[in-house]
Amino acid sequence: MADNILKIENLGYDYETEDENGEVIKNVALKDISFEVKKGCFVAIVGSNGSGKSTLAKNLNALFVPSRGRVLVCDMDTKEADPIDIRSKVGMVFQNPDNQLVSSVVEDDVAFGPENLGVDPKEIRDRVDEALSKVSMTEHRKKGPHLLSGGQKQRIAIAGVLAMQTECIVFDEPTAMLDPSGRKEIMDIIEELHKEGKTVILITHFMEEAARADEVIVLNKGEILFDGSPKKLFTKDNQELLDKANLKMPMAASLAAELGFKDVVTDEELINAALK
């Protein structure tokens, strides 16, 4: 198997709307996007509201197909391959915790993906139990989603993707609608999954979250402004670039810059640097 899970080549995407006269108007949402994601990598895609990051996410598992260029998932072109084959490789967790759970019983919801893939009932049971324990939601397995907190609902959504055993998970702003404790729960799970070898793509507008990735891609108005490590991105020299993209430095990086600490972007790194 190739070492690249995802290969994006000159991807462009347009939204088409009709005006009052019935003429088609093209709104360019993505322009000339190219990057690769290696197996086991943790890539963050950041940008302000309206930068095109969600559109990009949906191009990664054939929910949208490119208007220009192409997206390869495990060497399959999303325009040609069966979407089921693509989506059983790349799973997705969405922003709104309420609107992505299908069943009114937690464990039935987790089973939804594997059921669609036609997995044997006994194996589905095992996968569901394993996925629920991975996100520490086993005790809530019989509950209705409307009785859970936002963070818990997102954990169920993650379990639903884990039960599909995809190679890669795309998180499309999974913490945007959560409170700080919910946000922490989800980020801890994402890091844990990455440590266990899952390929993780995290779309976010929180720079503190992006600082924890191996690689950060900055999107602005549908174009890539930056692609590199968080340590390279969050430096004083890039302040202008971040301003242009309407983004803020993580607090740790910004404090470190004022204090003259080098290579500090996360809270943990700041604490270590300050103790020296």
- Given 4, 28, 70, 96, the residue binding other proteins (CB under 8 A): 96
- Given 52, 69, 114, 230, the residue binding other proteins (CB under 8 A): 114
Residue 177 interacts with other proteins (CB under 8 A): yes or no:
yes
Neighbouring CB atoms inside 10 A of 204's CB total: 23
- DSSP, collapsed to helix, strand or coil, labels residue 65 as coil
- Given 113, 174, 222, 230, the residue binding other proteins (CB under 8 A): 113
Contact set for other proteins, span 190-229 (CB under 8 A): 205-207
Residue 13 interacts with other proteins (CB under 8 A): yes or no:
no
Residue 50 interacts with other proteins (CB under 8 A): yes or no:
yes
Helix (H) / strand (E) containing 127: helix 121-134
Residue 176 interacts with other proteins (CB under 8 A): yes or no:
yes
Question: Angle at Cα 188 formed by Cα 98 and Cα 250, nearest 5°?
Answer: 95
Residue 104 interacts with other proteins (CB under 8 A): yes or no:
yes
Side by side, which strands form the sheet with 68-73? Answer: 24-38, 4-18, 68-73, 76-77
- Whose CA is closest to 45, among 185, 230, 241? 230
Give 179 or 192: the residue with its C-beta nearer to other proteins.
Answer: 179
Rg over alpha carbons for the chain, rounded to the nearest Å, is 19
Minimum distance, C-beta of residue 55 to other proteins, in the bound complex (Å)? 12
Which residues 6+ apart lie within 8 Å of 133 measured at CB? none
State the residue for tokens 């700080």: 180
State the residue for tokens 């937690």: 106
- Given 116, 133, 136, 239, the residue binding other proteins (CB under 8 A): 116
Residue 103 interacts with other proteins (CB under 8 A): yes or no:
yes
Helix (H) / strand (E) containing 257: helix 251-259
Residues that bind other proteins (CB under 8 A): 48-50, 58, 61, 63, 83-84, 87-88, 91-92, 94, 96, 98-105, 107-108, 111-121, 124-125, 128, 144-146, 149-150, 157, 160-161, 164, 176-177, 179-182, 205-207, 246-248, 251-252, 255, 258-259, 267, 270-271, 274-275
